[in-house]
Amino acid sequence: MAINFDKALGIHPQVLSMRERRGEVLAANLANADTPGYKARDLDFKSILKQNLPLTQSMERTQTGHIAPQQLLGAHLMYRNPSQVSLDGNTVEANVEQAKYGENAVQYQASLQFINNKFSGLMSALRGQ
């Protein structure tokens, strides 16, 4: 009997990939904190859940003239609305980005732990323990 890793691991590998990509986006925001006109971006975690869970609704374009949302790893890459825009048009708020980056790092570690626990359970089942 073959093991189906997609069923065994569930959504966790996709979440790990999204967390990795979100870390890259947040790091790019921090790196461009002093770049005039740079717009802070972030990934929308809800969109990836909507894609993978059949009970949720998805966004649709109702008019052909509407701009399609940009997708990356099944998640929408969106602009962040700042509390206070700088005079040069940069929307990066370093303290917000650092907090989001730290939060994402903790969630990335949690996703790794979930996958590790799944593999540990599979190994125990294979060994008959």
Q: Domain residues of the chain, as ranges?
A: 14-54+69-127
Query: How remote is the C-alpha of 107 from its chain's centroid?
Result: 10
Q: Which one of 15-24, 48-57, 68-77 scores highest in mean pLDDT? A: 15-24
Lowest mean pLDDT among 14-18, 19-23, 56-60, 74-78: 56-60
pTM value? 0.70
Mean of pLDDT over the chain? 80
Who wins on pLDDT, 60 or 104?
104
In a 13 Å sphere around the CA of 53, the CA atoms on its Cβ side amount to: 11
